[in-house]
Amino acid sequence: MANCVIVGINWGDEGKGRMVDLLTDRFDVVVRYQGGGNAGHTVINEYGKFALHLLPSGIFRKGVVNVLGNGVALDPENLWKEMQTVSEQGITLSPDNLKISDRASLLLPWHRDLDELEESRLGGKKFGSTKQGIAPFYSDKYQKKTVLAGELFYPDAMRAHLADLLEWKNLTLTKVYGASPYTMTMLEEWIAAYCDKLKPYICDAGAFLRSAQAEGKDILFEAQLGSLRDLDYGIHPYTTSSNTLAAYAPIGSGLPSAKINDVVGVVKAYSTCVGEGPFVCELFGDEAERLRAAGAEYGAKTGRPRRVGPLDVVATRYGVEVQGATELALTKLDVLSDLERIPVCVRYLVDGRETDRFPFPAALAGAKPVLEYMEGWNCSISGVRRWEDLPPAAQRYVLFVEQAVGCPITYVSVGPERDSIILRGRGKA
């Protein structure tokens, strides 16, 4: 039996969804274990192009059971809309292939309102939230002021619970932000419109996963965002509000007894970042715009342009370390094909000294990139499927990254499609 986690190594948007979609032919179960609708996993396959925000990326594989674990910020409204979208494109969804943990907390309508209100209040000091309610949701969760999905099966108790939360939350909305309050009628209408439709999918997902484990099923755990957005180990305070690391997968999935065999870290052949916060290797002006256009670097959820830069060895090595990555997938190598010289950030200059260690977050604002340049290959590689057919300069780039970050690169993507991948030997996953 293999338990594998697919994680982001940098700031998110590395291509985790396409890797899950690629690898799910080897797994029986795919589990989302943290985060919510604040990020998008783009998948291109025989069904079309999809930007998934809540659904696990294994939903396209027949025979694979997909689970939303207890660690997920369960947004019933956006999840139901996403389910309708994929169903309309020919994907079959049923309680047999999609299960929602009864211990997952519901992201309520006021969480999005509070997210937007707080970002507006912060003004120029904003964190760059996607305004999907994630920070207010997790804040409430750890204050024990959320509603569990399983409470939908106990409507009287749930109504009383919501009434208590409503009084408390309206104080924040009206007295802190001067916003309009919610009513119980508004919440009941929202529950009927979205939550009740999800009830057939809600179950004891932990029990299902324990049974799957006992039966020797192979389980793939899917993370959202990347190492540098982790609540504890990321670029505080410009992080998400959940733990994006592989180590959290057993807890957030509902299978605390799981032993992780492999951790596939996903990293782009260059760097991208959505949101605010330090981004040491960031490019600006025409150079940034050319890279952004070549890689179609626009947020899957927000559509906003991603910040871009050269591959950051310092940040990537740190991401590999905190994730405990056993192998890497290097994505979007093809985007660099038109560059004559390829910049790589190999060290930081911090307080007048060069370092190859990722510094404490407070030191990042003053850090400067130290760049080295590698020879480009100046030809299209999108049709290449074998390592030995890559141009020598492209091979040297991959090998340089592998050695610099200290982790084997077993997958190299040269395009967005499922089969646009080069296997350097076969990955462990």
Amino acid at 280: V
Domain with CATH 1.10.300.10 in the chain: 109-198
> Over the stretch 332-383, which tens digit does the pLDDT of each residue have?
999 999 999 999 999 999 999 999 999 999 999 999 999 999 999 999 999 9
Residue 13 bears catalytic tag: yes
Q: Give the separation between CA 105 and CA 301, rounded to whole angstroms.
A: 21
Sequence-ordered alpha helix ranges (H) in 147-237 = 155-171, 184-190, 196-198, 205-214
Q: What is the CATH number of domain 109-198?
A: 1.10.300.10
> Over the stretch 173-216, which tens digit does the pLDDT of each residue have?
999 999 999 999 999 999 999 999 999 999 999 999 999 999 99
Output the furthest CA–CA distance in the chain (Å, rounded). 67
Domain with CATH 3.40.440.10 in the chain: 3-102+202-264
- 0.95 surpassed by pTM: no
Contact 35, 73 (CB under 8 A): yes
Residue 41 bears catalytic tag: yes
Q: Which residue has the higher pLDDT, 44 or 158?
A: 158
Q: Where are the beta strands (DSSP E) in 115-255?
A: 202-203, 219-226
Q: What percent of the chain has pLDDT over 70?
A: 95
Residue 225 Ramachandran class (φ > 0 left, ψ -120 to 50 alpha, else beta) = left
pLDDT at 47: 72
Of the candidates 21, 28, 41, 334, the residue annotated as catalytic is 41
Q: How many CB atoms lie within 10 A of CB 51?
A: 16
Structure tokens at 42: 């783009």
Q: Give the separation between CA 83 and CA 91, rounded to whole angstroms.
A: 9
pLDDT for 52 beyond 90? no
Q: Give the separation between CA 269 and CA 265, rounded to whole angstroms.
A: 13
Those residues whose C-beta lies under 8 Å from the C-beta of residue 123, and which sit 6 or more positions away, are none
Domain with CATH 3.90.170.10 in the chain: 270-423
> Over the stretch 298-323, which tens digit does the pLDDT of each residue have?
866 667 789 999 999 999 999 999 99
pLDDT at 127: 57
Nearest C-alpha neighbor of 138 from the set 17, 252, 309: 252
pLDDT for 38 beyond 80? no
pLDDT at 279: 95
Q: In what order do the strands lie in the sheet with 98-101?
A: 202-203, 98-101, 65-68, 29-32, 219-226, 3-8, 262-268, 327-331, 409-413, 421-423
Q: What is the CATH number of domain 270-423?
A: 3.90.170.10
> Over the stretch 183-193, which tens digit does the pLDDT of each residue have?
999 999 999 99
Confidence of residue 271 (pLDDT cuts 50, 70, 90): very high
Of the candidates 13, 28, 75, 140, the residue annotated as catalytic is 13
Residue carrying structure tokens 């399983």: 150
**What is the CATH architecture of 3-102+202-264?**
3-Layer(aba) Sandwich (3.40)
Mean pLDDT of the chain: 92
pLDDT at 128: 56
* CA torsion angle 410 415 417 418 (round to 10): -10
pLDDT for 427 beyond 60? no
Contact 64, 20 (CB under 8 A): no
Structure tokens at 189: 């209408």
pLDDT at 428: 54
